[in-house]
Structure 1
Amino acid sequence: MTACKGPDSPLAQLQRWYRTPLGAELARLECACVQRLLHDTFGYYLVQVGVTESFRDALATSRIRYRIAMPCDPPPLARPPAIVGLASQLPLASDSIDALFLPHTLDFAPEPRAVLREAERILIPEGRIIIFGFNAISPWGVRSLLRGARGPAPWCGHFRTAYQMEAWLSDLGFALERREFLMFRPPLTRALGPRGARVEALGQRLMPALGGVYVLRAVKRVSTLTPLRPSWRRRRQLLPGRVEPTTRRGGHV
């Protein structure tokens, strides 16, 4: 994780920040967005890695049959069904997940590209990945620079651009399906009133790339002569007795 100030993990700090007025407004926008992006996504398994509390109700509306969390809290605080592990070494079988949701997980991961490699490994062909990230070229990114890496979450995260993340996804064979931007209000509590709502509407219309959060949905493409179709007649194994080793890393948690 990044060098955020505080005794607990940055993602645990981010979970608490979501309970503040500014964080709650962002959570409202992000929950509506992830519901929209999952509306036409089907399958057996949806896995969410990172902050889980703020999105529990939003993911409950998904048409994917099983929804599994890998929370940022230690095991005693995690609510079932939950899996404990590292985002860069996911304890899941290869080609077993239909959709993966990373809400700001990459903003605080010490090895974000390793997390994306694991995402590519566990997703089935044509599986979807949804990424929320704080946008470096926005007022939120400016505030992050002013606060510095030693401040609290979310400002201590590594803000990036949507285009950098898209390049990383492309390198792994993902094809971008959707790009959106959220939260055009400045990162100030006083911006939550009616004037802030007008700023939000103007930003979406006039400066769509300057939102405080970027949202990406991409699909895992696999080059093959025969189209690969997921089998709906039998349930795939998510946690086999012996987790398959990855060729990209030494092992799994």
Structure 2
Amino acid sequence: MTEKTNDPYAEIDKAFFADGYRLAASNLDDKLAKNSLLMHLNTQYSVIDSLLDAFQHKVVASGARIDCRLGCSWCCHQQVLVMPAEMLLIVDFIEKNFDKETKGAILRRAVDKDENVKKLSPEKVLLAKIPCPLLRDGSCSVYQVRPMACRIYLSSNVDSCFQEFHHPEKPDIFPELFDFPLHAGRMLNGGLIHYLKEKGISIYENRLEKILRLLLTEPDKGTKWLMGEEDFSDGYEQVEDIVRLREKP
């Protein structure tokens, strides 16, 4: 007898998790070379972007709206958690597209945010509004390779984002986000994480600025991660508490 659930996303979550795992299994080999992993992430992002394009058309056709626009960066001041794989892609993009001065500025911003945030309690982290080190002139400087967490953060009401930015301490004020993109993207990433775990690769997520800082100052850490010699787990207790507080009803 099949157990019934009240979770309306239970079946959707299973489907996207399976899709994420199958996509990883078909694109990646046992050696997990850096180039194949970066190509896989680009493919996975293309999948979610196509899905979100269709979703946005459906939303607009229903008479609703999506308020996310170029230059709107209220959400770019909160804490973003990422997989090391996602940061490898971002750092690869930075190395190929930015000059020395720009790379230095990104690193300085990453160091500043990391130093500020790592001192905070998890509760204070969720209240802090510190710009992402990749934010430049109100826009994401690595938009093409932005992590999954940023791609699936779609708001139906920009005023709700504005209010949350200015009043993060008020639990009854929060961005009015669409649920479907959040579930789809997280589960696709979940499938990849499960595949990497099976291959003996660390699946720890961590703060974007922390991994960015490490990879920009010690590029060999990415290679060591793929070889199972680095896990980016420093400060993970703080990350676990951040996740727990975010999921708290």
Tell me the TM-score range normalised by the shorter chain.
under 0.3
* Structure of greater relative contact order (alpha carbons < 8 Å, 6+ residues apart): 2
More helix by share: 2
